[in-house]
């Protein structure tokens, strides 16, 4: 198994996994199977992405006794539980995340909208479903929650979240949020660790001069440089090179508190945060 961290439950979570958001459906099954073949066993998926049936086909073919990946090594993240279990052809999940601290209006449309293009939100507070979350999952976690929301969850339930998944990379180091999670006993996983630029006016982390220089020095790809930065602070060996303290400082200095993954709407040719007016929107607070 690849290098792992240990959750408070004692369960091991591989440090590097495959995120399938934005994946091409026609290529996804082959991508997942290749991921298994090179030793990665951590798959990050969600029902809202609409791609879990393809992942289920790969799991059925490559995971299990006598196959590429033994069941005990697989680690699957972030689905909408019942539909996901059917789509992935699984009986249980290792980790189940609450994707956002606010909910959309229930119904068949995954993104229900008002007449002005904004999302129709449900009034349910995240504390209520969290207190009743149960099912064939080993541990529970959160995604896109800020510090006070995490503290709020911890105050109302004996079911302790094991993980917080948030956007994190050298442009957005999340130092304060990570420190809060460590104090509360949560591990942090980073989504979009390479950056995720969708617009031409956004900076591109993979093209930063310091990233390219380190890639050349160590004979690695820019992506491997950014992944190594994510895990070196945990003193866990991933890849066969180690940054000096000065090189870590150079990568840390790229921090701009810049978020790529903020749901946006386009109105009159201008982009604005889709959900910023919701009282439980997590990004109105510093961390």
Q: Which residues are annotated as a binding site for substrate?
A: 99
**Active-site option among 8, 34, 49, 169:** 49
**CA–CA separation, 237 and 249 (whole Å):** 19
DSSP summary character for residue 236: -
DSSP summary character for residue 238: -
**CA–CA separation, 195 and 138 (whole Å):** 30
The residue among 1, 7, 25, 285 whose CA lies nearest residue 148 is: 285
- Residue 191: active-site member: no
Longest Cα separation, the chain: 56
Q: Which residues pair with 13 in a beta bridge?
A: 5
* Cβ atoms within 10 Å, residue 93: 23
Q: Are 94 and 138 in contact (CB under 8 A)?
A: yes
Q: Which two tokens stand for residue 206?
A: 């993979």
DSSP summary character for residue 198: -
Q: Are 214 and 243 in contact (CB under 8 A)?
A: yes
Instruction: Indicate the pairing of strand 42-44 with strand 18-19.
Output: parallel
**CA–CA separation, 191 and 201 (whole Å):** 21
Phi, psi of 121, deg, nearest 5: -100, 150
DSSP summary character for residue 94: E
Active-site annotation, residues:
49
């Amino acid at each position: 198994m690849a290098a792992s961290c240990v959750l408070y439950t004692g369960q091991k979570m591989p440090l590097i996994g495959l995120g399938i958001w934005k994946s091409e459906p026609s290529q996804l099954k082959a991508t997942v199977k290749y991921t298994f073949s090179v030793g990665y066993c951590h798959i990050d998926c969600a029902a809202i992405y609409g791609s879990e049936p393809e992942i289920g086909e790969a799991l059925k073919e490559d995971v299990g006794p006598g196959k590429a990946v033994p069941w005990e090594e697989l680690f699957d993240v972030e689905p909408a539980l019942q539909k996901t279990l059917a789509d992935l052809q699984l009986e249980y999940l290792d980790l189940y995340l609450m994707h956002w601290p606010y909910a959309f209006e229930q119904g068949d449309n995954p993104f229900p909208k008002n007449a002005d293009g904004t999302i129709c939100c449900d009034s349910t507070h995240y504390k209520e479903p969290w207190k009743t979350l149960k099912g064939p999952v080993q541990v529970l976690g959160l995604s896109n929650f800020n510090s006070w929301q995490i503290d709020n969850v911890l105050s109302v339930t004996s079911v302790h979240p094991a993980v917080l998944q948030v956007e994190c990379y050298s442009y957005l180091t999340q130092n304060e949020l990570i420190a809060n999670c460590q104090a509360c006993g949560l591990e942090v996983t980073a989504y979009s660790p390479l950056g995720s630029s969708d617009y031409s006016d956004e900076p591109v982390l993979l093209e930063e001069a310091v990233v390219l220089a380190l890639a050349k020095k160590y004979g690695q790809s820019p992506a491997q440089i950014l992944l190594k930065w994510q895990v070196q602070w945990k003193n866990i060996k991933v890849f066969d090179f180690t940054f000096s303290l000065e090189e870590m400082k150079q990568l840390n200095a790229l921090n701009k508190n810049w978020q790529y993954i903020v749901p946006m709407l386009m109105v009159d040719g201008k982009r604005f945060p889709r959900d910023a007016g919701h009282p439980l929107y997590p990004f109105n607070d510093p961390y």
